[in-house]
Homo-oligomer: A and B are copies of this chain.
Amino acid sequence: MLVVQKFGGTSVGDLQRIQNVANRVSATKKDGHDVVVVVSAMSGETNKLVAYAEHFSVNPAKAEMDMLLSAGERVTASLLAIALSEMGFDSVAMTGRKAGIVTDSDHTKARIENINPQNMQDAIKMGKIVVVAGFQGVNDNGDVTTLGRGGSDLSAVAIAGALKADLCEIYTDVSGIYTTDPRIEPKAKKLDRISYDEMLELASLGAKVLQNRSVEMAKKLNVNLVTRSSFSNEEGTLITKEENIMEAPLVSGIALDKNQARISLMGVKDRPGIASDIFNKLADAGVNVDMIIQNKAHDETTNIDFTVPVSDLHDAKAVVDGFVTRGEVKADSYNKDICKVSVVGVGMKSHVGVAAKAFSAMAQKNININMISTSEIKISMVIDEEYAELAVRSLHAIYELDK
């Protein structure tokens, strides 16, 4: 079996932890598997370098930032290869360039364009453990680039895809994906398996573990992803394609997003294309609109409600103000004290009454639902923020996720 193992900053946070990683990697190798390891910078290192740069400039040149920040992962990769060699395991450290990771030129948040895995394949064929510096690649011009937040995960998934690895293990300080946030519902259970699409919808549950970018790439490249803890031997959660999940449960998990604000537009002028106008302008302003609900009012005007991340609220207001000024929207109101709870599960595709159950859970607790949006595998509800935890626990219970 060919396994790609990725270790994040906390997992390689000091020399002892790097040694622990070496022990874990070598155990996999001893079990007869081929291993490619992808590492982040030692925790704190990237922040230190960013602070150095910000000492000189509030807006440092991005190409220079990439040359600066890529140093951290190179250090970890070299050290881990040295540790593995010392333990008697033939190993080789590779930079992103050496590993064949080619990106576009969008410095500090480059996208992987392709991977030429020849060097890695040659090394694997020679029986070597390959240790790759994550988070980095090179553009067509030969300049170092970095992949932005969660970049090392992306490196690992892309490498696993290019090498057609059997498994891509993402090691962090969290043991896997839970049915909901255990800080809200202590009865939350760790999931054994979950589909890519569910994982994407449960983003808030995996926020500390995996970014959607990585899950999307894993889905595209058909990479079996496992998130697990580097501090225990506990099995993690496998994120895979739906077909690999036998007997999918009706509901896999309950996600909560408190970082949403609701914008209500009342008396929107009833002319063709008005909604398109509004949302195009919001998109131009970089506002990330999530849920949208439109109701025709009695007076032939329309009400439009939508949610945006709290951080985009300021920009959204500016756009809406324009329509109010031009008289195309009568009134607008804003509410930051809301949250979104989502029930996610591929099982609900083939079942009826899943949504009804959610609504009755809310009703039992006298929680008012402001907005509803559904997809094939998700029911999202916007409710007042003060009911957030109560709602999560009620939904967790009604779908028997603690069983």
- Residues of chain A at the chain B interface (Cβ within 8 Å): 15, 18-19, 22, 49, 52-53, 55-57, 60-61, 63-65, 67-68, 70-72, 74-75, 77-79, 81-83, 85-86, 92-93, 95, 97-98, 142-144
In the complex, chain B residues whose CB is within 8 Å of the CB of A15: 52, 55-56
Task: Please tell me how many copies of the chain the complex holds.
Answer: 2
Q: In the bound complex, do residue B78 and residue A67 qualify as a contact, i.e. CB atoms below 8 Å apart?
A: yes
Nearest chain B CB to A308 CB, angstrom units = 34
A138 to chain B, nearest CB (A): 10
In Å, the complex CA distance between A75 and B70 comes to 9
Q: Which residue of B lies closest to A51 (CB)?
A: B15
Query: Interface residues of A: mostly helix, strand, loop or mixed?
Result: helix
Residues from chain B with a CB closer than 8 A to the CB of A65 are 78, 82
| Contact pick for A56, options B19, B53, B63, B71, CB 8 Å | B19
Known: A15-B56, A143-B98, A144-B95. A64 touches B78 (CB 8 A): yes
Are B52 and A64 neighbours in the complex by a CB distance under 8 Å?
no
Query: Known: A63-B92, A93-B67. Contact between A57 and B83, CB under 8 A?
Result: yes
Give me 15 A-to-B residue pairs in the complex whose CB atoms sit less than 8 angstroms apart, sorted by A's number: A15-B56, A53-B78, A53-B79, A57-B85, A57-B86, A63-B92, A64-B85, A65-B82, A68-B74, A68-B79, A70-B74, A71-B71, A71-B75, A95-B144, A98-B143
Q: Closest Cβ of chain B: how far from A32's Cβ, in Å?
A: 24
Find out whether the CB atom of B68 lies under 8 angstroms from the CB atom of A75: yes
Find chain B residues with CB under 8 A from A67 CB. 74, 77-78, 93, 95
A207 to B64, CA, bound (A): 33
Residue of B nearest to A19 (CB): B56
Complex CA–CA separation, A115 to B57 (angstroms): 32
A56-B83 CB under 8 A given contacts A75-B49, A95-B144, A98-B143: yes
Closest to A16 in B: B55
Q: Is the CB of A82 within 8 A of B64?
A: yes
Is there an interface contact between B52 and A81, defined as CB atoms closer than 8 Å? no
Q: Which residue of B lies closest to A66 (CB)?
A: B78
